[in-house]
Amino acid sequence: MNLHAIKAIYIFELARTWRTLLQSIASPVISTSLYFVVFGSAIGSRMAQIDGVSYGAFIVPGLIMLSILTESISNASFGIYMPKWSGTIYEVLSAPISAFEIVIGYVGAAATKSVILGLIILATARLFVDFSILHPLVMLAFLVLTSLTFSLFGFVIGVWADGFEKLQIVPTMIVTPLTFLGGSFYSISMLPEVWQKIALFNPVVYLVSGFRWAFYGVSDVDVGLSLTATFGFMALCLAAIWQIFRTGYKLKT
């Protein structure tokens, strides 16, 4: 394995984050803080508990997951799209580095940035609401697994996109609405029965539910099912990336 090449890609992508610190870190943290102020403090103080958890604390996992999903996709898609746009992707492809090593470099950097962002938001949430973490190791595992999975998904989007506008289509028009409808701000058990069944087709429900279980031991679906769904989506993303490099889709053609 060409560790020097992986390290070069990884460090280059992380360095881009520090150069755009306001956009990469500060902006999502400030946006999430506003959610805590409005929903956690203002609205949450007037709402009853959900599954024995105060509303302000209940939405913490959902808000972290909302940021993780969007930022993972954005970081990974932009990271691979820029070499395509500038033409430097051909230098990467012609270098003595395998497709597997390329993916590790780009996806690893994007996932690292998302994990750092998630931990910062978690620390920031303490300023607004009081919450506990019942299973910290499981919480960290879900955080890393989700960041990695959606960074892989973002890599696929970055290869697929042929314009800056397309980079924002999936996160803005698909992922964000699914996150809002995935139990980030409520338990799906509060929905009418027919909508509870429909919500189970939303993959984000399993991510948010599993992540919330790590905090409070309560969930809308079994935590094992949440892990299975996450690994299943990761497998689909890996299969898509394998197909991309096998055929050269929008990389060599």
pLDDT of residue 128: 83
Residue 253 covered by a domain: no
- Tokens 């959900």 found at: 50
| Full pLDDT tens readout for the chain, 253 residues | 778 888 888 998 888 777 776 666 777 888 888 877 777 666 666 677 787 788 888 888 988 998 899 889 988 998 898 888 888 888 887 888 888 999 999 999 999 999 999 999 998 888 888 888 999 999 999 999 999 999 999 999 999 988 777 888 888 888 888 888 888 888 888 888 888 888 888 888 999 999 999 999 988 888 889 999 989 999 999 999 999 888 888 877 6
Instruction: Give the DSSP letter string of 119-186.
Output: HHHHHHHTTT-----S-HHHHHHHHHHHHHHHHHHHHHHHHH-SSHHHHHHHIIIIIHHHHHTTTSSS
pLDDT of residue 149: 94
- Cα distance from N-terminal residue to C-terminal residue, the chain: 26
Residue 23 covered by a domain: yes
Residue 98 covered by a domain: yes
For 218, phi then psi, to 5°, come to: -120, 145
Q: DSSP class of residue 221?
A: S
pLDDT of residue 105: 92
Q: How far apart are CA 84 and CA 8, in angstroms?
A: 18
Residue 252 covered by a domain: no
Q: How far apart are CA 227 and CA 28, in angstroms?
A: 26
Count of beta carbons in the 10 Å neighbourhood of residue 47: 13
Give kind and range of the element (H or E) at residue 79.
Answer: helix 60-86
If one counts the domains in the chain, the total is 1
- pTM score, two decimals? 0.90
8 Å CB contact between 158 and 78: yes
Q: How far apart are CA 112 and CA 96, in angstroms?
A: 24
Q: How far apart are CA 235 and CA 172, in angstroms?
A: 23
pLDDT of residue 189: 85
Q: How far apart are CA 168 and CA 151, in angstroms?
A: 14
Q: Range of 77's domain?
A: 3-247
Count of beta carbons in the 10 Å neighbourhood of residue 178: 16
- Cα-based distances in Å from 31 to 24, 88, 212: 12, 33, 20
